[in-house]
Structure 1
Amino acid sequence: MTVSDGDLVAGVDVGTTNIKIGVFDGLGECAGLVRLPTPSTVDKLVEDVAQGMRTCIVQAGRAPVAVGVAGMAETGAVLDAAGAPLTSLIPWTDPRGANEAEQINRECGTVELYRTTGRWATAKSPLAKWLWLRRNDPGVLDAMTCWAGAADLVVRALTGEARTHPTLAARTLAYDLAHGDYEPDLLALAGLRPEQMPPLTGFDGGAGVVSSRAAAAMGLPAGIPVVNAGHDHAVGAWAAGAREPGVGCVSLGTAEAVVLPVPGDVAPEMALAHGFTSDPSADGRHVCLVGGLPTSGALIDWLRTVVGSAGLDASVPTGIIVQPYLRGRVAPAPDASPGLSFKGVTERHGPSDLLVAAIEGTCLHTRWTLDEAARIGNVSLDRLVFLGGQANIPVWMRIKTALSPVPVRIPRTADAVCAGAALRAIGASALPSRPAPVEPALERAYVPVYKEFLHVIGGR
Structure 2
Amino acid sequence: MTAAVGIDIGTSNTKVVRVQHGVSTVVISKPTPDRLDELLATVVTGLTAASKAGPVDVIGIASMAESGYPLGADGRALTPLLSWRDARDDTEIQAVAGRIGADALFSATGVRPGPKPALATWLWLRAQHPDTFAAMRHWAGVADAVHLALTGELRTDHTLAGRTLAYRLPAGGQPLTRTFDPEILTEVCLDPALLPRVGLPHDPPSRLRRHAAVPGLRPGTPVVVAGHDHQVAAWASGVRTVGQVADSVGTAEAMLHLVGGVSDRPSVRAHGMSVVRTTDGDTEALLAGTGSAGGFLQWLADRHTSGDVSALLADADEATLATDSWLLPYPSGRQCPDPDPKARFRTVGDPAHLGLAAIEALGYQAQWVLETQAQLAGRPLARLTLSGHPLRRTPLWPRIKATLADVPTTLTTADEPVATGAALLALQRAGLDDPRPLAADPVAPLPPEQARYHDRMPAFIASAHALRHGT
Instruction: Give the direction of change, closer, same or farther, for the CA distance of 1:287–1:251 in structure 2 (3 Å limit).
Output: same
Q: 1:443 to 1:63 in 2, by over 3 A?
A: farther
- Code of the residue aligned with 2:15 in structure 1: it is K
Instruction: Give the corresponding residue for 1:267.
Output: 264
**Number of the residue aligned with 2:20:** 25
> In the TM superposition, what are the counterparts of 1:149-164 in structure 2 within 5 Å?
149-164=141-156
Matches of residues 66-145 of structure 1 in structure 2 within 5 Å? 66-145=58-137
Q: Could you say if the C-alpha distance between residues 291 and 32 of structure 1 is closer, same or farther in structure 2, counting changes exceeding 3 Å? A: closer
TM-score (norm 1): 0.92
Could you give the per-residue CA deviations for residues 284-341 of structure 1, whole angstroms, max 9, x where no partner exists? 1211101111111111101101111434222341522211111111111111232111
Structure 1 stretch displaced more, 36-45 or 151-160: 151-160
Tell which deviates more after alignment, 216-225 or 131-140.
Answer: 216-225
Counterpart of 1:337 (choices 334, 342, 347) is 342
User: Is the contact between residue 367 and residue 404 of structure 1 (CA under 8 Å) also seen in structure 2?
Assistant: yes
2:104 maps to a residue whose letter is: E
Q: Match for residue 290 of structure 1?
A: 287
Q: In the aligned structure 1, how far is the partner of 2:15 from the partner of 2:450?
A: 34
* Mapped partners of 2:411, 2:375: distance in 1: 24
| Contact map agreement 1:8 1:64 (CA 8 A) in 2 | yes
Residue 237 of structure 2 corresponds to: 240
- Say yes or no: does 1:16 pair with 2:11: yes
Pair 1:35 & 2:29 matched: yes
Cα RMSD between the aligned structures?
Answer: 1.8
Q: Is the Cα contact below 8 Å between 2:400 and 2:445 reproduced in 1?
A: no
Segments of 5+ residues of structure 1 without an aligned counterpart are: 1-5
Distance 1:305 1:340 in 2: 14
- CA-to-aligned-CA distance 1:378-401 (integer Å, 9 cap, x gap): 233221111112121212222222
SS at 2:375 equivalent = helix
Written as runs of structure 1 = structure 2, the 5 A alignment for 1:47-62 is 47-58=41-52, 61-62=53-54
Measure how far apart 1:210 and its partner are. 1.2
The residue type paired with residue 274 of structure 1 is H
> Between the two proteins, what is the percent identity of the paired residues?
34
TM-score by length of structure 2 reads: 0.90
The 5 Å alignment of 1:131-210 reads 131-178=123-170, 180=177, 181-204=179-202, 206-210=204-208
Counterpart for residue 38 of structure 2: 44
Indicate if the aligned counterparts of 1:155 and 1:207 stay in contact, CA closer than 8 A. no
Q: Displacement of 1:244 after TM fit?
A: 1.3
SS in structure 1 of the partner of residue 341 of structure 2 = coil
Distance 1:176 1:97 in 2: 24
Take 2:2 and 2:25, find their aligned partners in 1: how far apart are those partners? 11
Separation of aligned partners in 1, 2:262 and 2:450 = 33
- What is aligned with 1:369? 369
Moved more, 198-207 or 111-120: 198-207
Q: Which shows bigger deviation, 178-187 or 43-52?
A: 178-187
Q: How many Å separate the matches in 2 of 1:32 and 1:102?
A: 42
Question: For the Cα contact (< 8 Å) 2:301–2:312, is it kept in 1?
Answer: no
Q: Kindly indicate whether residue 316 of structure 2 is the aligned counterpart of residue 314 of structure 1.
A: yes
Q: CA deviation at 1:32?
A: 3.6
Shift of the 266–457 alpha-carbon distance from structure 1 to 2, 3 Å rule, reads: farther
Residues 219/442 of structure 1: CA separation in 2 closer, same or farther (3 Å cut): farther
CA distance in 1, matches of 2:359, 2:327: 9
> For 1:164-204, what per-residue CA distance to the aligned partner results, in whole angstroms no more than 9, with x for missing partners?
00111111111011153311122121210111101111124
SS of match in other structure, 2:270: helix
**Contact (CA 8 Å) 2:207, 2:222: kept in 1 or not?**
yes
SS at match of 1:164: strand
Alignment: residue pair count: 445
What SS does structure 2 have at the residue aligned with 1:336? Answer: coil
Q: 5+ unaligned residues in a row in structure 2: which ranges?
A: 171-175, 429-434, 467-471
1:414 matches 2:415: yes
Is the 1:327–1:336 contact (alpha carbons within 8 Å) kept by the matching residues of 2? yes
Question: 2-side partners of 1:123 and 1:370: how far apart?
Answer: 24
Tell me whether 1:224 sits opposite 2:221 in the alignment. Answer: yes
Deviation at 1:139, TM superposition (A): 2.1
Shift of 1:68: 0.5
Deviates more, 1:415-424 or 1:128-137: 128-137
Q: Deviations over 1:132-173 (max 9, x none)?
A: 111222222222221000011111122112210011111111
- Give the distance between the partners of 1:15 and 1:251, measured in 2 at CA: 13
Q: Distance in 2 between matches of 1:153 and 1:407?
A: 39
> Is contact 1:206–1:226 with CA below 8 Å preserved after alignment?
no
Q: Secondary structure at the match of 1:385?
A: strand
Q: Post-superposition shift, 1:445?
A: 3.7
What is the CA deviation profile of residues 190-221 of structure 1, one whole-angstrom value per residue up to 9, with x for unaligned ones? 2101111011111246441111222x424322
Superposed CA deviations along residues 240-263 of structure 1, whole A, max 9, x for unmatched, are: 111112110001011111111102
Structure 1 counterpart of 2:469: none
Match in the other structure for 2:431: none
Query: Is the Cα–Cα contact under 8 Å of residues 167 and 234 in structure 1 kept in the other structure?
Result: yes
Aligned to 1:401: 402
Runs in 1 of length 4+ with deviation above 3 angstroms?
204-207
